[in-house]
A = this chain, B = another copy of it.
Amino acid sequence: MKRYGSITGLRPEKAAYYKKLHAACWPGVQRQITECNIQNYSIFLKEIDGKLFLFSYFEYTGSDFDADMKKMAADPETQNWWKETDPCQKPLPDAMQKGEIWSMAEEVFHQD
């Protein structure tokens, strides 16, 4: 199992909508998350220096993360979900350069 921590910005004017969406995530999206070997997935929100940021934590139990992420990206319902969530988020520069939403963070400590 591998743990992933990642970060993105959240547009303040979209914060309420983002929270509303995630309080009742679509069942097809949740199914896809499970089928792509992601578990124990949390997203946290925090204001830093007057800007909003989202931090996500999840555990990946599969053997080919890139392949599973491609599988997720090919799922029509997930694509529709991202049409709702992408405009809420404001990627950090390193993610934006790669056309991605979330920037990976570095794990510096873990204790079971």
Contact = CB atoms under 8 A, between A and B. Distances in A.
A2 to B, nearest CB: 11
B55 A5 contact: yes
Interface of A: 3, 5, 7, 18-19, 22-23, 25, 30, 33-34, 39-46, 48-49, 51, 53-55, 57, 92, 103, 105-112
Contact of A107 (B5, B44, B53, B108): B44
A48 B45 contact: no
Interface majority SS (helix, strand, loop, mixed), chain A:
strand
Given A22-B109, A41-B111, 14 more contacts: A5-B42, A7-B48, A7-B55, A23-B109, A33-B111, A41-B110, A43-B109, A44-B55, A44-B106, A45-B105, A46-B103, A46-B106, A49-B49, A49-B51
